[in-house]
Each structure stands twice: as C-alpha cells, then as structure tokens.
Amino acid sequence: MKRILGPIAVALALAACSSSSPSTTPSTNTPSPPPSSANVVLKDFAVSVDPTTVAAGAVTFNLTNTGPSVHEFVIFKTLLAPDALPLAKDGTGVSEDDPQVEHITEKEDIKVGTPATLDATLVAGKYVLICNLPGHYKAGMHAPLTVA
Ligand SMILES: [Cu+2]
C-alpha cells in the first residue's frame, strides 16, 4: 500500500500544480480595492450601510438620519451577529463594556436632516453598526460591516 500511495500523491500534486499554472490571474479578475468611506442611513428603526465592505485604515462614515427620531451611530468590533450583541442589564440597549464587543467610536445626537460624519481607524475584521439609544437596537437598528 505504501508503495502505491507515494506515486499517487506525487501525481495529484503535479495535477494540482499544472491545473493552476495557466495564468488566469493577470487581468481577468481585477477586484477593485474596497473604498475608504461608507454611507450610512439611520432611521426608525434600521441602519443601512453602503458599501458593506470597506478598506482597513482610516474610514469616513457619512451619516444621514432620515428620522423621525434623533439617532446615534456606534461602531463595535465583534464576531457576534448584528442582532445578537450582549444587552445591558436594564435591557434598553447593548452593553458597551461587554468583552464580546469592542466599542470603537461613536457619534451621538444625529439630527434629522443634518448630515454628520464620523472618522474611524479600523483594522480588518467584522463589525456591527448600531444605534444605542434606549430601545433602538432592539427595534432593529443594527447592520454588519466588514473591514478588509
Ligand atoms: Cu436610534
């Protein structure tokens, strides 16, 4: 058996090598780098972000609140699902001190019709964007963001 496995492994390795060697990499697949800014829309009660992937480094969030309520914008780095963040003891929002989430930065008091911006320096990973005003997170104000 062992005398057979050796040659087979070599043959497989050679096959894998030769099948990947036809150079398809140059121009057929040119992924443009992710952007360094994203547009975020906050409303009662949802958060949307476009695009959903941005480049690691300095990121600018352009924030628009379409209301009717005042909202805020909070960035957490976390591996948890957007709707599964740990809640504060009083249940009104996400526990920003919980070790399962890393509070990166936030912009408070974003008024309807008054665009705001938030600059953040983000390392690659998974993030969740929320509004943490009482009740707003549980009402649906959360969205995932990937930093690549
Ligand atoms: Cu809100």
* CA-based nearest residue to 34, from 60, 15, 16, 52: 52
* 39-97 confidence digits (pLDDT tens): 999 999 999 999 999 999 999 999 999 999 999 999 999 999 999 999 999 999 999 99
Number of H helices, E strands in the chain: 1, 9
Residue 92 CA to ligand 1 centre (angstroms): 12
CA of 109 to the centre of ligand 1 (A): 9
Segments of the chain assigned E as strands = 37-43, 46-50, 53-54, 57-67, 71-77, 102-110, 116-122, 125-130, 142-147
Residue 16's pLDDT band, with cuts at 50, 70 and 90, is very low
Separation between Cα atoms, residue 39 and residue 116, nearest integer Å: 10
pLDDT tens digits for 18-27? 444 444 445 5
Q: How many angstroms is it from 136 CA to the middle of ligand 1?
A: 5
More confident residue, 12 or 119: 119
**96 C-alpha to center of ligand 1: Å?**
15
Distance of CA 99 from the midpoint of ligand 1 (Å): 23
